[in-house]
Amino acid sequence: MNQKKILPVTGNEFRRFGRIVTGFDLAELVTQMKTTPLPDSGTVYTAMDPKLEKLPVAKELEKEEFGGLPIQIGYCNGHNEQLNALEYHRSSELNLAVTDLILLVGSRADVDPVRNTFDTSATEAFRVPAGTMVELYATTLHYAPCGIGGAGFRDAVILPRGTNLPLEQKPSGTGEARLLFARNKWLIAHPDSGLQKEGAFVGLTGENIDLSSPEWEEGKES
């Protein structure tokens, strides 16, 4: 069995996918996030949470990280150990890990530009310690975080306002238009995910990565 590494987000390998964001007082955001729902199974995503958005740090992030563009602050919480899908936006996304969690990511450069497919063997896993905020670049494929060892996770998600809200009308074209799943959200699903029932484009090839598999192990920082 070939072992696969879960790498620390502080290592050099993460640099092509994003960066660690520092310089903000995130204490109130972390505290408020701990009151958000954590389902016993599955995940819950809320694009906008008024209690999170009214915190003083929201205006600071809007000004300094998004260049003054209106933002939304929501969360993705729950239990998850599988890849299931990968998405991207036309903008960066900030993620604040309230618990230790793992991000499964890939590069848009590895998406077949004709078939709009992505081989999951090109996916990489990064462990993000609790209290760490990361920026995922617009060129980074990502989806719901994974917990550690089956534990639940809480993750604050910060994006340009309107992202992930329902489309007024889904494009009927070909090419990349087939991937548009929500506002500012292009999604490629794995056939085992069941997301095709919701209209998602199925284009992930290879295994549906499962971090509970014994082939995955913690790696060391390079």
At 222 the pLDDT is: 55
Closest CA to 134 of 159, 160, 167, 97: 97
d(CA 36, CA 55): 15
Task: Give me the domain span that covers residue 180.
Answer: 4-212
d(CA 177, CA 191): 19
Is 98 within the bounds of a domain?
yes
Task: Read off the pLDDT of residues 103-151 as tens digits, 9 standing for 90 and up.
Answer: 999 999 999 999 999 999 999 999 999 999 999 999 999 999 999 999 9
Residue type at 15? R
**What's the mean per-residue pLDDT of the chain?**
95
User: Is pLDDT of 57 > 70?
Assistant: yes
Is 94 within the bounds of a domain?
yes
Q: What is the mean pLDDT of residues 68-86?
A: 98
Q: How many domains does the chain have?
A: 1
Task: Read off the pLDDT of residues 167-222 as tens digits, 9 standing for 90 and up.
Answer: 998 877 789 999 999 999 999 999 999 999 999 999 999 999 999 998 888 876 65
The CATH number that applies at residue 144 is: 2.60.120.10
Is 222 within the bounds of a domain?
no
